[in-house]
A and B are shown apart, each in its own frame.
Chain A
Amino acid sequence: MDSILECRNLTKYFPGCLALNSVNLAIPKGQIVGLLGPNGSGKSTLIKLINGLLTPSGGEIDINGMKPGVETKKIISYLPERTYLNNWMTVQNMIDFFGDFYADFNKAKAYDMLQRLHINPNDRLKTMSKGTKEKVQLILVMSREAELYVLDEPIGGVDPAARDYILDTIISNYSENASLILSTHLITDVEKILDGVIFINAGNIVLTSSVDEIREKENKSVDALFREVFKC
Chain B
Amino acid sequence: MPWNLKSDRPIYSQLIEQIQQMVVSGIYPAGAKLPSVRDMAAEASVNPNTMQRALSQLETEGLLYSQRTSGRFVTEDAEKIMQTKNELAVSLIHEFITKMNQLGYDRQQTVSLLGSVMKEEEQNG
Contact = CB atoms under 8 A, between A and B. Distances in A.
The answer to A–B direct touch (Cβ < 8 A) is yes
Q: Which of A30, A164, A172, A212 has the most CB of B within 10 A?
A: A212
Contacts of B5: 192
Interface stretch (B17-25, B47-55, B71-79): B47-55
Interface in A160-196: 164, 167-168, 171-172, 174, 188, 191-195
Q: Size class of B's contact patch?
A: 10 to 19
Interface residues of A, number: 25
Given A171-B41, A174-B38, A192 B12 contact: no
B76 to A, nearest CB: 30
B9 interface: yes
A164 B7 contact: no
B98 interface: no
Interface string B18-59: 000000000000000000001001101111111000000000
A152 to B, nearest CB: 20
A188 B50 contact: no
B115 interface: no
Nearest to A187: B7
The main secondary structure of chain A at its interface with chain B is helix
Contacts of A164: 45
Given A191-B7, A212-B10, A215-B10, A168 B42 contact: yes
Given A32-B47, A192-B47, A194-B47, A215 B11 contact: yes
A187 to B, nearest CB: 10
B9 to A, nearest CB: 6
B12 to A, nearest CB: 6
B7 A167 contact: no
A221 interface: yes
Going nearest first, the 4 A-B pairs with the smallest beta carbon separation are A221-B7, A212-B10, A215-B10, A192-B46
11 contacts: A30-B49, A167-B45, A171-B47, A174-B38, A188-B7, A192-B11, A192-B45, A195-B47, A195-B50, A215-B9, A219-B8
Interface of A: 30-32, 164, 167-168, 171-172, 174, 188, 191-195, 211-213, 215-216, 219-221, 223-224
